[in-house]
Structures are given as C-alpha cells and as structure tokens.
Structure 1
Amino acid sequence: MPSLVVVGTQWGDEGKGKVVDLLTEFADVVVRYQGGDNAGHTVIAGDDKIVLHLLPSGVLRPNCRCLLGQGMVVRPGRLLEEIDALAARGTSLDPARLTISARAHVVLPLHLAADEAEERRRGERGIGTTRRGIGPCYEDKAARRGVRFADLADPDRLRALVEDATACRAPLLERQGVAVPDPAETCRDLAAAWARLAPFVGDVSRAVHDELERGRHVLFEGAQGTLLDIDQGTYPFVTSSTTVAAGACAGAGVPPGAIDGVLGVCKAYTTRVGNGPFPTEADDETARKLREAGGEFGATTGRPRRCGWFDAAAVRRAVRVNGLASLALTKLDVLQVLGPEIRVCVGYEVDGAVEPEIPLDRLDRARPVYETVKGISEPLRDVRSPDDLPASARRYLALVEKWVGVPVSLLSVGARRAETLVFDNPFRLRRRGASGRHAAVARGPRSAGRG
C-alpha cells in the first residue's frame, strides 16, 4: 500500500504526531494537507520533546521528504522559526526535502488581529479559538481575497492584496479596540520571509503525483480531528478546514483513487480544548487525574484540556465518515489512574431511542449510554509484545473494537517510539469499501488471546 492518510477521530490531540513519526519508518514522503500552526504535533525523539506546528512529523527522519499542501494556511515567520529550531538541534532542511505549495495561503498579522477581534465580539459565545489567525485566513481564501505563497514573488500584487484585505477587516478591528496592522510593514516582513522561503515553494500536487508514480510510500498527515471538521464536526465549535480523510485529496491535490488506506488515531479516553459540547466530560476529580497523568495541556496554547470517558459512538462515526480500516489507540497507560472501573460511551439515548453514533445535531437532548469495564491496574509502559498485555488491557481493547467496528492496529503505552505495540502495519491494510464492501484486515497474533 503506497499511500495512507492518518486522521484524528476525536477533537484533536489524539497523538497523531507520535503515530506519524512511527509510521515514517515505512514512508518516503509525508504531506500536511490542511490547517496551520493551530495544530501542535508532539514527537519524542530520544530524550528530546519536539512540538511541530507546521512541519510534518516526518521531518525528523533524514530520508523523508516533507510537503506542505495547498490546503494549509501558513504563517511564514512561524515556519522559519520551526526550520531554524530544527537546524539548531542538527536537523537541516533543504528544498530537496521540503516543499511548500505555491497555492497555500499565507496567514497575515491582520488575520491574528481579526481572530482576536471576532472572539471579543462574540463575548461569552466565543468559539475559543487559538487566536492564530486560522479562521480569518480561511475566510479570506473563501472570499477570494487571500494571499498565497505565489503572490509573495510579486511585490505590487502582494501590496494590493494586503491593502484590500486590510480595508475589509479594519472596521471590525477598530470597533473592538484591536490595532490594525500596517500593510506596508506586513509587506516588508513578507518580503524578508520570501527571500528565505522562495527556494522551497513549488507544485506540491505534482510532487505527490510523481512520488506515487515512482511507487514511493506517501503518508498524508491530518491535523486536529474529525469532530473539529468544518462539515463533520460539532459546528460551530469547529476549525475552519476539512480535517477528515477526504480533505487529503483537495488539500494535497490528489485524486481519491490515490488514497489506498486511512488510519484513525484516538486516545483511550477523550479530551477537548476550548468551548463546545463534550457529552462524556468527566467529573472534576476524574478529569484532574486524566489531565495530570496524561499531560493534557495544549501543545499550541498550553491550555488545560477538558477530559472525559472514551466515546465509542463518536469514534464509530469517525470510522464511517473517514472509511477507516483500523485505529491507533494511544495513552492506554494513562487509564491506570482511574481505579477499579472505566466507563465507555457506547451510544446515545435520544427521544427514547438509543443511537449507535453521536447525534451531532441533537446533542442538546442526547444522553450518553455507558458500558463499564474493569480498570487497568497493571503497569503498561514496559510491555513490548502484544502477548504480554495484561488481561485488563485486553478486555478494554476488546470493548473498544466491539463498539467502534474496526480493529486496533497500533497501541501506544507511553510517549516514546519504543512504547508502541504494532499488531498490523497500517501500510498493509486496505481501506474500507475498497472492493464495494468492508475490506478484510489481517489480524495479528494477539487476537486469539483477547479476553
């Protein structure tokens, strides 16, 4: 299987960075296809903790090519900071390893200011954005007044675009008491960034096509999660891009037939950052235990994450809309802090009937239906073989697989690369529906012993 999309199945922060970093051992190319520096992918390399916001997680593998697709929105200064930070630790990037789509949109200082102004305008009804300018940048893209990387090569066109965008945004900023960035200063800063980034800018769609034609293994790295998708998520408390697997086609410029499989990533519990519905949110004490044991603080904002029980009904929906063949389940080791019992949401009761998927448009009158399983008391971080998993962990995995409808192919029991159990290599798994039905999935040896 030469191509695989990796997507989050919850509200982001599922551990995609670690999973992608692990899978880059089998990949030649990694492509980011949506989002911007509102995403934070954490990778543990040796004793170093590295948080990437824009660069693909494959950047730490010296033989892996990294591409930023046209569906992304990129702040040039932040991208240069990441490149320089990696260079300082001995990981250098050149145009042979990194390509930025000429069609990717540029996040301007104006967009950060507009993000702040809009959150102020909403007041208590605020979305709880990261204030990184992501939404306003996508707004300008849809309104056809955005700035793309290709525009940075033409100073006159760039100036006209920045001045037009500023004229459109200035009234709201002034009403909300937010300073309006100077267009001339913005253009000067972008010119300086362009002087360094120009060699990296090219046709990512063509690059992906050529790599696939050569038979290279291509990994498409999603940001955020399915429940934050602009169309499939808990609208309006969502991000502004297509986070589901279908977004890889538009965001990287490849046809649907180029995607051979989709892997979903989810935590063994659920978290959410910011405002919006969270039906399985735990009580304060349980949430505190999960937050402290799991290090649940935003990689981008540092905000404490809201924590709750695993929502199999939500992940089941993600399985369907993404066409998942399997799951990578992360942070199973964290569940040790929960004591003798663990709850899993297996459906929702709405108007007297139980539904197997999260009812996104009726959450105001939906009640989670829980199944309880015995807690995990044994330590897991030293487990290196599926055969060594304790019975309590096997029971939990069996419950998850039963209710989400697909197998777990990767299991993370710690932050490091070595603390991962591989049941099935996702690059060998066919996507669901590949032959008009759910494709068969080869199972690892752990299946027979599952409790």
Structure 2
Amino acid sequence: MDIVLGLQWGDEGKGKFIDLISENYDITARFNGGSNAGHSIQRNGKRITLKMIPSGIFMKTVQNVIGTGTVLDPVSFKKEILNLQVFDETIQPEKNIIISRKAHLVLPTHKFLDIFMEESPDYTTIGTTKNGIAQAYSNKILRQNLRVGDLFSSDFQTRVVPILRRDYKMLTDGGMVLPSFEEMSNEFFEAVDFLKRFNCTETEIYLNTALNEGKNILAEGSQAAMLDIDHGTYPYVTSSSTTAAGACSGLGISPKKMGEIYGIAKAYCTRVGNGMFPTELFDELGEEIRIKGNEFGSNTGRPRRIGWLDLPALQYAVMINGVTQLVLTKADVLSGLKSVAICTHYELEDGKIEKISAVLPDNAKPVLKWMEGWNADFSNMEGNSELPQELQDFLTFLEAELGIPVAYLSIGPGREQILKLSSK
C-alpha cells in the first residue's frame, strides 16, 4: 500500500497528484476526515472538488474505498454524487465506490452544533469548515454515535430520531434558528435511502484480501500532517489522524504493508482558519501570491493565508510520516519574483534555536534564507534540464535539508502539468 498525504496545512494539491497516478493502482482509499476535505481536480477544461469521494473515481478500472477512519455525511455524500454525475455522466459511482460499514455518520444536527460552537463566545473559535466533523468524531469517542452499518438495521430510525430531537432542542433552547425538524430529518432520511444503494461492507477484509491477491492500493489522506489531531498545531487542527500511521488505523492495514509514502508540499505555505503561522506574509506580495496561485479554499472559498516555506515544519512532517518521495507544487506561482525565501530555523527569546518543530512559542522568530528567484515559461517543460537553474538550486537545497528526493514537480494547474523528475 502506498500513501499520499499533505505535509503542510492542507490544500497542497493532493487530489491532482492522486488523479494522475491512480491509473497505476487497483484501489484508491480515503482513510480519514469527512466532507470538510476538498480535493480539486481539473479534467477536460472543467474543475470539480471532491469531498468524500476518493480521487481515483475518474479511472473506470479503479475501485474507490471510503474507509473506517472517515466520517460520512449522507446528505453531503448524495449531493456530491449527483454533482459528480453532472460533471461526468459516464461515471457509475454505485459500481466503483465501496463504503466501510464501520465509518461513523455525520448527523444533520452535527453541522448546526459545529456552527453554534464556532459562533459562541463560550468555546474556542477554531475556524472550522462548519461541516460537523468534530461533533461526529467526538461522539464516536464518547461511543454515542451511529455508523454506516446501522443504516441497515430495522430499528435505525427509532435510534437516530431521539438523538436528533435531543440535539435540536438543545440548539433551539440556546437561541439558534434552525429549519423545521421535519424538513431537516426528511432530507436526512432521503439521503440515507440513497446511501444504502452503495456497497457497504467490511472494507478491512476487502482491502487486505486485495493486497493478498497482489493488487495495488493507494491510500488517500485528507487535510495534512500539520493538522493532525495528535501531532499538529493543536488546538487549531482537524479531528482525525492525518498521518501515514493514520492510514493504517483508518483502513485496517498493517504498517508492514506500507510502501512508498508520497508527501505533497507547496513551494510556499498556506493555511485556512486560525492557528500558528510564523512565516505569514501580510503585505502586497502575500496578496499577489494569493491571487496568482488562486489560494481560496476549494471547499469553503475562504481566502488562504500566505507565507514563505516553513522548513522546520516540513522536516517535522517528513520525519513523523516517513516520507520517501516529495511532490512539490506551486513553484510556477513564484515565477517572476526576484528572490524567494525559506524559513530555515527559529530563534527563541532565550537564544535557543529550533530547527525542527511543529509547535513554537509566540515569540519565536523565523530566520529566512533568501534565494534567487526564477522566471520561466513552464507550459511546455518536460524534464529537469528545462527547469531554470535558480529553481533547480531551490530543489537541491530542499533535498539536502529533507534527506528525500523531490520526485515530482507541479508546474501548473492542469492535470498533466506535473513533471516526474529524474534522479540526480
């Protein structure tokens, strides 16, 4: 099993890379997160954002698994499937999507609870996508939630309605204006009926059987390493395990069966929502990069925060995930700048230096290494030799500091605009 995951704060371009390489696999499998993810893919001049559906869905011979470590919102899933079929009417999702019976459900009241907590002064404002993901995961941990397999039980409706009524009452008592209970629940149960048309099974057995038969699996992570619930910049993180280890637990596959671990990172950093971001740019250059790189959330449309590449954080992410190959994106966005910067380490107030870290004190000062910028037309490039020397120097520096090769370089937004770099 190979793994693709983000190494920064999300939005690194995972969906595009997975879409490119998924033809080499028999199965692509999502192992964490829910509809708070957003993997954008461009095909035939059109763009679509996949939230729950694995990015291998466009390959007719690839099976796509939504694994046990995910949380599934039936209403959002139904909308995504219908949108996908409008985008490409040749896709037959009921034949190519397999859902874990053990994946937990996102209930309609979870979204409203998420909104309530984000807007209430009594709770820490995290900057969530307000999709109810944390509420589903928290109820999973509390052992108070329902799972996909429960949809097929004869008493599902009698079990879920009291939960919805309890949450609904708590929210309305707290002053929140909601749609009618009937409207909300009817939409949910219609989506549940739609979801039951799909193959829901014990995906752990399915995936391990496939591996034993010699089939190739690509595990697809949502969000990114620096948003991991345990190892990210807590509390401004997601609610699931986003690391390579999370792929094993989220899919039920032994670590002994891991192969290549592809880590995706931008040539600069972005972040959506609140949380630590020491290299953030607040000037006109940051806005220029945001516009040129189209740095707006694929799921929410929110403008992303922009900053220079954070090497200590990247080294940390490479370390905890055991990354074997780096995929660097958005280098083309920095084209035309006279110089570009990389944060190589942090200086602390007591004189100490942090060279690899995920959590820093507020007074940490990023120390920047400035490198000569590059200016090139990337539209027809085919390999290393055509890259400007300044960019090659940038890549060489990263390889030396990270101890892994930059194996792929994205040079534009299109599906085919990724160079596979030859070893040096």
Distance 1:129 1:155 in 2: 34
Q: Is 1:31–1:219's contact at 8 Å kept on the other side of the alignment?
A: yes
- Structure 2 match to 1:137: 136
In the TM superposition, what are the counterparts of 1:307-346 in structure 2 within 5 Å? 307-337=306-336, 339-346=337-344
351-360 or 104-113: bigger deviation: 351-360
AA at the equivalent of 1:242: S
SS at match of 1:254: coil
SS at match of 1:141: helix
- Structure 2 match to 1:84: 82
Distance 1:170 1:277 in 2: 36
Q: 1:397 to 1:149 in 2, by over 3 A?
A: same
- Structure 2 match to 1:426: none
In the TM superposition, what are the counterparts of 1:34-49 in structure 2 within 5 Å? 34-49=32-47
- Structure 1 match to 2:114: 115
Q: 1:345 to 1:334 in 2, by over 3 A?
A: same
In the TM superposition, what are the counterparts of 1:434-449 in structure 2 within 5 Å? 444-445=422-423, 447=424
SS at match of 2:270: strand
Q: 1:173 to 1:260 in 2, by over 3 A?
A: farther
AA at the equivalent of 2:30: R
- Structure 2 match to 1:437: none
AA at the equivalent of 1:105: H
- Structure 2 match to 1:20: 18
Q: Is 2:260–2:325's contact at 8 Å kept on the other side of the alignment?
A: no
SS at match of 2:361: helix
SS at match of 1:246: helix
Selected match of 1:195 from 193, 196, 204: 193
Q: CA deviation at 1:284?
A: 2.2
- Structure 1 match to 2:147: 148
Q: 1:393 to 1:150 in 2, by over 3 A?
A: same
> How high is the TM-score relative to the length of structure 2?
0.94
Q: Is 2:25–2:216's contact at 8 Å kept on the other side of the alignment?
A: yes
Task: Deviation per CA, 1:398-449: give whole Å up to 9, x if none.
Answer: 12222223211111001112211112xxxxxxxxxxxxxxxxxxxx34x2xx
Distance 1:251 1:142 in 2: 14
Matched, 1:221 2:220: yes
Q: CA deviation at 1:125?
A: 4.3
Q: CA deviation at 1:256?
A: 1.4
- The alignment of Structure 1 onto Structure 2 pairs a total of residues equal to 421
SS at match of 2:102: coil
Q: Is 2:226–2:358's contact at 8 Å kept on the other side of the alignment?
A: no
Q: Unmatched 5+ residue regions in structure 2?
A: none
Task: Deviation per CA, 1:282-324: give whole Å up to 9, x if none.
Answer: 1321111111110000000000000010111111000011011
- RMSD over equivalenced CA pairs, Å: 1.9
Distance 2:114 2:177 in 1: 10
Q: Unmatched 5+ residue regions in structure 1?
A: 424-443
Q: Is 1:117–1:173's contact at 8 Å kept on the other side of the alignment?
A: no
Selected match of 2:376 from 367, 375, 378: 378
Distance 1:64 1:286 in 2: 42
SS at match of 1:99: strand
Task: Deviation per CA, 1:95-147: give whole Å up to 9, x if none.
Answer: 44110111111111100110011012247941111111111111111111112
Q: Is 1:31–1:218's contact at 8 Å kept on the other side of the alignment?
A: yes
AA at the equivalent of 2:216: H
- Structure 2 match to 1:67: 65
Distance 2:304 2:285 in 1: 13
Q: CA deviation at 1:258?
A: 2.0
In the TM superposition, what are the counterparts of 1:133-282 in structure 2 within 5 Å? 133-164=132-163, 166-167=165-166, 170-171=169-170, 174-179=173-178, 182=181, 188-198=186-196, 199-282=198-281
- Structure 2 match to 1:441: none
Q: CA deviation at 1:178?
A: 4.3
Q: Is 1:110–1:180's contact at 8 Å kept on the other side of the alignment?
A: no
> How high is the TM-score relative to the length of structure 1?
0.89
- Structure 1 match to 2:392: 394
Q: Is 2:233–2:276's contact at 8 Å kept on the other side of the alignment?
A: yes
- Structure 2 match to 1:306: 305
AA at the equivalent of 1:130: T
SS at match of 2:61: coil
SS at match of 1:13: coil
Task: Deviation per CA, 1:225-280: give whole Å up to 9, x if none.
Answer: 11111011110001101111111111111121121221100011000001111101
Q: CA deviation at 1:382?
A: 2.2
74-83 or 327-336: bigger deviation: 74-83
**Percent of aligned positions with the same letter in both sequences?**
37
- Structure 2 match to 1:414: 412
